[in-house]
Amino acid sequence: MMKAGHCTIPLTGLKEGSHNYRFKIESDFFALFEGSEIAGGELAVEVNLVKRSSHLELLFSLAGSVQLLCDRCLEPFTYSLESQNRIYARFGDHFEEYDDEVIMIPWGEAYLLLDQLIYEFAHLALPIRRNHPEGIEGENGCDPEMLARISGVADNGETEREEGTESNPVWKRLEGLKDDLLN
C-alpha cells in the first residue's frame, strides 16, 4: 500500500466523475528530493481528477515562483513558473509507468501519491538556460562582481594564448561559448 505523502488523493470511496484538489507546495517539498534543481519556492497546484470505470484522468495546473541558481553567475533568482500536464492512470496488478502520459496503479490502492509527478512537472517547466531576467532597461540582472571575475579569467586566457606560437581552433570555439554565456 502506498504511504501518504505531501500530496495525496484518497482513492477508496471515490465516485465516478470529476473531483478537484488543491495543494500548496513550499520550499520544504523540493528539499525532499535529492539533487533538485529548484532551491525553493511556492507553487499552487490544482488537480482535476476525472474517475471513469476503466481509468483516471488527471489534469495538473502548476503556478507560482521557484528559486533557481543562475547558470551565468551562480547567484539565486526567482523564476515564475506555470505548467499544465495530463496523466492517465489505469488499474492493474502493480505500479508501472508506461510512457510520459500513462501510469498503472494496483487495484485496491488506497491513495494516489502525486509528489513525484508534481516534482517532475515543475522541473519540466524550467527553461533550458537559467539566467537572471533582464532589468526594466535591459541591463543584465547577474551579479556584476561575478561577471567581472569571469571576464578577468577569460582575459587572462586570451593573454596567454596571444603569447603562444600557434592558434588552436578549440580556443576560438570556447571563446564563442563564453560570448554566448555573457550575452
Give, for all 183 residues of the chain, the pLDDT tens digit: 334 467 888 888 889 999 999 999 998 999 889 989 998 999 999 999 999 988 899 999 999 999 999 888 888 999 999 999 999 998 888 887 878 889 888 887 888 889 999 999 999 999 998 888 776 666 677 777 877 777 776 555 554 445 554 567 777 778 777 777 776
Nearest to 43, CA basis, from 59, 31, 27: 27
pLDDT confidence of residue 67 = 94
Question: Are β-strands 76-92 and 40-51 bridged in parallel, bridged antiparallel, or unpaired?
Answer: unpaired
Nearest to 60, CA basis, from 12, 36, 98, 25: 25
Q: Which residue has the cell 532597461?
A: 137
pLDDT confidence of residue 141 = 75
Predicted structure pTM score: 0.74
Query: Whole-angstrom Cα distance, residue 15 to residue 12?
Result: 9
pLDDT confidence of residue 5 = 64
The residues, ordered by sequence, that sit 6+ positions from 180 with a Cβ below 8 Å of its Cβ are: none
pLDDT confidence of residue 92 = 83
pLDDT confidence of residue 143 = 73
pLDDT confidence of residue 156 = 59
pLDDT confidence of residue 132 = 81
Within its chain, how far is the Cα of 34 from the centroid?
13
**Cell numbers found for residue 115:** 509528489
**Cell numbers found for residue 61:** 495546473
Task: Count other C-beta atoms under 10 Å from residue 110's C-beta.
Answer: 13
Query: Whole-angstrom Cα distance, residue 151 to residue 94?
Result: 55
Sheet holding 76-92, edge to edge: 17-25, 40-51, 55-69, 76-92, 102-106, 96-97
